[in-house]
Amino acid sequence: MNDTELPDTKSVSKWGVLIAALLGGFMVILNNSLMNVALPYFMELFQITAVEGQWIVTAFALGMAIVMPLTSYLSKRFGPKKIFLIGTSIFFVGSLAGPFSWNFMSIIVFRLLQGFGGGLIMPLTMMLIFKHFPKNERGLALGIWGVAAMVAPTIGPTLGGILLEFFSWEMLFYINVPTAFIAAGAALYFLQKDSEPTMLRFDWPGFLFVSFGLVTVMIGIDLLQSRPGELWVYGLIAAGLAGLVLFMWQELRSDEPLLNIRILKNNVFSGSLIVISFSVMAMFSVLLLVPILIQDIYGYSPLYAGFVLFPQAISMGIAMTIGGRVLDKKGPYIVIMFGVVTTTIATFAIGFSIGQVGIVMLIIFLIFQGIGNGLINTPASTAGLNALKEEHVPAGSAFNNVSRQLMKVICVVFLSIFFEYRRGAHLVGNEWTTAGEQAVRDSYLLVASLLVASILLVFYLRKRW
């Protein structure tokens, strides 16, 4: 089959498929970031601590992590259209039930349910795009889809702030109901009918190992915020890592693996996952540190913090579509290298400018970081998945999304711990504002220093792309 031929699209609009994938992805990711600005409200509403409140976000990530490894199997066994609709339905039910939460535990259950639905949807969105677009158009298509994957977390706090300011917390759930309904309608109309199912044996040992490993590692990392230095927390993380090792051992010996981990031997794909992890680190450093700076240190409202982040979201979305088109015409190396260099320089600039420049200059630096990040994520994802055989794309998409979730949790937890440590080190008397600014500066400079490694990695991969 030529690169310009479209597989399985005789009566299906590829752009219609992209619309369904875009709606599904945007719905899931926006829902997660909506909750970040609402945590202080929920802490007061349910009389819980900050650590307990964080579980409103963590429960969603855990739900996604549990089901994401299943999508490759389920799409082959039952068909991607059925699984996409099932995932959307589960997400719809969780969103509809959320406003009726009667206590803290009930809202955690409904957030977990939303995560189950989201975990089925996200890997399928990328898989459907790769199935219906030829290689010479995938960069543009995934760039448009990437607006959901990267911009939604940035505009989520803005929208969440508006909903809390002018409505009520229930709207944080209700806003997903029409979105899920529209996404399901688009899937019903645009996605082609599933072909005959492939009869596969379900790998129960692999599923148990990967579920235990991912959930335990994520919970352990999350607990590092509230219980740093306690040995049993490190033991929990070690147990989770052991579960993931057992999962890899099981998949290598299985004739019908739940998730084909042999694709990690592909240097281009593995390298793309690492580059994407750097990109996620850069993005979530902004989503964590800028609200801390604007709200906790300077005392502005969540809505104001959201508006500070909004220009970066716009620049990131524009850069994604441009980067995707450049990748289709020129290949991945030029666009990704320009992206990692721009992101690294902009992150250093933000770090050195904290406390030295005004909000307007900070927004300008954030815009440049958004441009750089937009030029990394989508091209890296496209290049990595393009390097795989077509039958391995579902597994590659699952790996791509799981790595994002893990990196998000790791980044938020470790940067939170590092920020508090540096603020304590800088605190003199009651100078909380100065200590906070210096801690944010140190955190950004740490992220920028780590991003230098992404430049070296992209240079190493230049001939393989």
Cα(228)–Cα(211) distance, rounded to whole angstroms?
Answer: 24
Compute the Cα dihedral for 163, 410, 319, 115 and give only its sign: negative
Please say if the pLDDT value at position 10 is more than 50. no
Q: What is the DSSP letter of 56?
A: H
Coil/strand/helix, residue 257: coil
Q: Contact, 254 vs 416, CB < 8 A?
A: no
Q: Cβ atoms within 10 A of the Cβ of 201, count? A: 11
Tell me, letter by letter, the H, E, C secondary structure of 99-126: HHCCCHHHHHHHHHHHHHHHHHHHHHHH
Amino acid at 439: A
Closest CA to 24 of 70, 79, 90: 90
Where does 264-358 have alpha helices with state H?
267-291, 302-330, 332-353
Q: How confident is the model at residue 8 (pLDDT cuts 50, 70, 90)?
A: very low
Q: Contact, 374 vs 323, CB < 8 A?
A: yes
pLDDT tens digits for range 328-383: 888 888 999 999 999 999 999 999 998 888 889 999 999 999 999 989 988 888 88
Closest CA to 348 of 455, 456, 443, 421: 443
pLDDT tens digits for range 294-323: 877 887 876 787 788 888 888 888 888 888
Q: Average of pLDDT values for 35-53?
A: 75
Q: How many CA atoms within 13 Å lie on the side-chain side of 35?
A: 24
Cα(105)–Cα(355) distance, rounded to whole angstroms?
Answer: 40
Please say if the pLDDT value at position 203 is more than 70. yes
Amino acid at 27: M
pTM strictly above 0.85 = no
Residues 6+ apart with CB under 8 A from 310: 154, 155, 158
